[in-house]
Chains A and B, each alone.
Chain A
């Protein structure tokens, strides 16, 4: 109850137009010239001092990208993107590779403090001893700092930026990069393969339970830049890791492009839990500006009894086009997808998941909650399929939508394809508004309308919030309230 009250109070103090993370940090940065061609790809690769094989990999992707056309099947409408009018590389100038936190530009640290990221180790250590979070912060395109490195090293966990991993662990990167999302996968993933600038790399050795939550914070700061980060997480046999990413961007009038690729690989008995709190700038109350979020996220349950779980809270971005999926290859492997997608203003969300059952006795669960308010459109699009050999596959899908207001839309487009008679698939979906009798019941007991709506919405998404790591559940709950600000009353 206390948390609900708090969210309602937070809402009251904020205007519709006031995006909490809308500040620009004035840091000198190094920009690649606008536009995209082979030279830019070479420039990025050279900047990062990459080996020959990676440059060739990028170039191959770039040539492939030139032959592809932008997908148009989603329920999102936006003016055509001029891919030549973007900077494909932006790096804070003064931080070519900090040795410690002291070397990091204090202004940058201040930025993160504003974002509320527990970047400084001592702060966290001084705070709650029991809940440590290791952070890799990505500023525009470059990974700025990774905390808790030493402690992780003791456990044998590799957690660093992907450019460091290319240098320090080339065998791992070469073995796994692009094996889940190949360079040929889709328009945006191919673009990302050609121009990805940085991202996080995680390797958990066999039998290791990662001692702390790992986390990345992405922030687009520079004007007219695209952010193309690439995350690669490998959980070796019997390993466990929980990973959280958070995203913000300053306010800008033009739309900024974000096309990330996330690849997860779980070997035998391994488990990866990947949580996202996405709060990119959604554009102003007239639908101007905001981030275009075109993300390819895929997990490969390669080993037997492995498990991958996606949890996402999507409240930001002008356009969200994102389908975190699981390829359930290993026998008895399982995939989970928990999602809260909230759209307000002129936001457009087309998001969902794919559960591809290939192995025997694979199971998956999908729980998607969509809330549409304002003039937004919120679509759940999901695919569940069972291959001929996926004997005993099991899926349960539940997607519920809540509509607040008369000008928004909520859509559900599931694809359920079964080619195995012993596979059991169940799908249910509902769409409704907040029932008058529920509101009446709450208000009759002394809550005002805003409190009542916050209470009901929080109840509606409760099952998904419970899946988030504890530290972030409270933050996510606040975000939900802020996102819905101005939609009721």
Chain B
């Protein structure tokens, strides 16, 4: 009864070939790339038989590996255009923008070759095929070293007319005691089946405070894979929000490791889906040291035939005493064909901890709707009010008023569009 290995898919073969063809010219970090490639070659693209990819069968979804997107100089409308410091990354390449005084910026290739940055440091003990793929093949991206308080907007925009792929890698090192806000926005054309595999690594120094906001407003045929890997130092704080509304297939994964005691984490998610969209939020919070605190709040609103997935795992390692972890995932299903899968996990090896998770799933509350309608609101407005309030709770973590309001406005627009269709 030998184990049966599945046949390689066309996409897997193309990716393996691409690595062999490009190996010699990939910038720096040869060892990390080789190790990542070896793991990828062995495991292949994750199928639903891989526990952490159970609800997003990438092997089946990523049918082909399209060529890498070329350079572009086109610049369309971008998100959050009122933010002072913005870097525009088109088709994975930096094309425009400046950073503030406290931020040093290097192209990824330069930083890797010079040994200023390494790949996969923020992943901790986590291993993931999609990250491995990015590690093995990434060329484009940035290394940012933040030494003074700053706010930076990374505007990722794809300008492709055909099936193309982009694999950017951003490595951010935040010096001790610094406050840094990182905003990512991802946009792209509708109707084009492009693929994106973006990895952001955050290395947060002692006592630093980082706020991270990611907006996925990708094209309606896009396959959007993204990873946030973070290592949080002693007494440091990280707050991250992932807002998903775009893409046909999306998966955002967060791998957070506590590197020092008394660190705090807040991970939030807001997802609004319609049509046949599929969005997956997967997170692994690894309490490797004592006295860590984590709060996760994920809200999903699912309409049409869309599918939402939430997989959250809190690991408390032996000796990580006094850990306090609370995780919640709530979903609203707006149509009969919508589906939601929740898998909140606790993996606990220390006894003096307080951990809890909750997950709920259901339709809009009839009594709440009735209450609003009895006060004169038409049904659609009552529904919109409830949905906006539901998502709002997840957005509360965003401290920048303009960004928070822009995200909230997206929810209102989404509900308005729903009414009209």
What residues of chain A have their CB less than 8 Å away from a CB belonging to chain B? 66-69, 73, 388, 401, 403-433
> In the bound complex, do residue A408 and residue B362 qualify as a contact, i.e. CB atoms below 8 Å apart?
no
CA distance A419 to B302 in the complex (A): 11
Query: B335 interface residue, CB < 8 Å from A?
Result: yes
> In the bound complex, do residue B360 and residue A433 qualify as a contact, i.e. CB atoms below 8 Å apart?
no
Given contacts A407-B318, A421-B335, A423-B362, contact A431 B348 (CB under 8 A): yes
Chain A residue, CB-CB nearest to B349: A409
B355 contacts across to A, CB distance below 8 A:
430-432
> In the bound complex, do residue A420 and residue B346 qualify as a contact, i.e. CB atoms below 8 Å apart?
no
CB distance from B396 to the nearest CB of A (A): 22
CA distance A68 to B4 in the complex (A): 11
B345 contacts across to A, CB distance below 8 A:
411-414
Chain B residue, CB-CB nearest to A73: B51
A404 contacts across to B, CB distance below 8 A:
351
Query: B123 interface residue, CB < 8 Å from A?
Result: no
Given contacts A417-B339, A417-B341, A418-B340, contact A69 B1 (CB under 8 A): yes
> In the bound complex, do residue A428 and residue B357 qualify as a contact, i.e. CB atoms below 8 Å apart?
yes
> In the bound complex, do residue B358 and residue A421 qualify as a contact, i.e. CB atoms below 8 Å apart?
no
Count of chain B residues near A, Cβ 8 A: 37
A414 contacts across to B, CB distance below 8 A:
342-345, 359
Given contacts A401-B348, A413-B345, contact A431 B359 (CB under 8 A): no
A430 contacts across to B, CB distance below 8 A:
354-356
Further contacts, 16 of them, CB under 8 A, given A388-B336, A416-B361, A424-B361: A69-B1, A73-B51, A401-B346, A406-B350, A414-B343, A415-B342, A415-B343, A416-B359, A424-B362, A425-B361, A426-B359, A426-B360, A427-B358, A431-B346, A431-B354, A431-B355
CA distance A243 to B97 in the complex (A): 73
A-B CB contact pairs (8 Å), 24 listed: A67-B1, A388-B336, A388-B337, A403-B353, A406-B350, A408-B349, A408-B351, A411-B348, A414-B343, A416-B361, A417-B339, A418-B339, A418-B362, A419-B339, A420-B333, A421-B338, A422-B363, A425-B361, A425-B362, A428-B357, A428-B358, A429-B357, A431-B355, A431-B356
> In the bound complex, do residue B356 and residue A428 qualify as a contact, i.e. CB atoms below 8 Å apart?
yes
A401 contacts across to B, CB distance below 8 A:
346, 348
What is the interface of chain A mostly: helix, strand, loop, or mixed?
strand
CA distance A66 to B318 in the complex (A): 40
CA distance A66 to B1 in the complex (A): 8
A413 contacts across to B, CB distance below 8 A:
343, 345
Query: B352 interface residue, CB < 8 Å from A?
Result: yes
CA distance A431 to B321 in the complex (A): 13
What is the interface of chain B mostly: helix, strand, loop, or mixed?
strand
CB distance from B30 to the nearest CB of A (A): 34
| Most chain A beta-carbon contacts within 10 A, residue among B338, B339, B352, B361 | B361
Given contacts A401-B348, A404-B351, A409-B348, contact A425 B343 (CB under 8 A): no
Query: B413 interface residue, CB < 8 Å from A?
Result: no
Given contacts A388-B336, A416-B359, A425-B360, contact A410 B346 (CB under 8 A): yes
> In the bound complex, do residue B346 and residue A427 qualify as a contact, i.e. CB atoms below 8 Å apart?
no
CA distance A301 to B205 in the complex (A): 56
> In the bound complex, do residue B363 and residue A429 qualify as a contact, i.e. CB atoms below 8 Å apart?
no
The total of Cβ contacts below 8 Å across the A-B interface reads 120
B331 contacts across to A, CB distance below 8 A:
418
Query: B133 interface residue, CB < 8 Å from A?
Result: no
Query: B175 interface residue, CB < 8 Å from A?
Result: no
> In the bound complex, do residue B346 and residue A412 qualify as a contact, i.e. CB atoms below 8 Å apart?
yes
Query: B210 interface residue, CB < 8 Å from A?
Result: no
What residues of chain B have their CB less than 8 Å away from a CB belonging to chain A? 1, 3, 51, 318-319, 331, 333-363
| Most chain B beta-carbon contacts within 10 A, residue among A403, A418, A421, A424 | A421
Given contacts A388-B336, A421-B338, contact A431 B353 (CB under 8 A): yes
CB distance from B236 to the nearest CB of A (A): 25
Chain B residue, CB-CB nearest to A409: B349
B361 contacts across to A, CB distance below 8 A:
416, 418, 423-425
> In the bound complex, do residue A409 and residue B356 qualify as a contact, i.e. CB atoms below 8 Å apart?
no
B1 contacts across to A, CB distance below 8 A:
66-69
Chain B residue, CB-CB nearest to A432: B354
Chain B residue, CB-CB nearest to A402: B351
The list of the 4 closest CB pairs from A to B, nearest first, reads A421-B333, A403-B351, A424-B362, A416-B342
B334 contacts across to A, CB distance below 8 A:
421
CA distance A421 to B332 in the complex (A): 8
CA distance A69 to B1 in the complex (A): 7
Chain B residue, CB-CB nearest to A427: B359
Given contacts A388-B336, A421-B334, A422-B363, contact A427 B342 (CB under 8 A): yes
> In the bound complex, do residue A416 and residue B343 qualify as a contact, i.e. CB atoms below 8 Å apart?
yes
CA distance A407 to B345 in the complex (A): 20
A73 contacts across to B, CB distance below 8 A:
51
CB distance from B337 to the nearest CB of A (A): 8
Chain B residue, CB-CB nearest to A69: B1
CB distance from A391 to the nearest CB of B (A): 8
CA distance A180 to B306 in the complex (A): 32
B339 contacts across to A, CB distance below 8 A:
417-419
CA distance A296 to B349 in the complex (A): 28
CB distance from B320 to the nearest CB of A (A): 11
CA distance A422 to B337 in the complex (A): 11
CA distance A403 to B316 in the complex (A): 12
CB distance from A378 to the nearest CB of B (A): 10
B354 contacts across to A, CB distance below 8 A:
430-432
Given contacts A73-B51, A432-B354, contact A421 B336 (CB under 8 A): yes
A427 contacts across to B, CB distance below 8 A:
342, 344, 357-360
CB distance from A339 to the nearest CB of B (A): 16
B358 contacts across to A, CB distance below 8 A:
426-429
Chain A residue, CB-CB nearest to B363: A421
CB distance from A398 to the nearest CB of B (A): 10
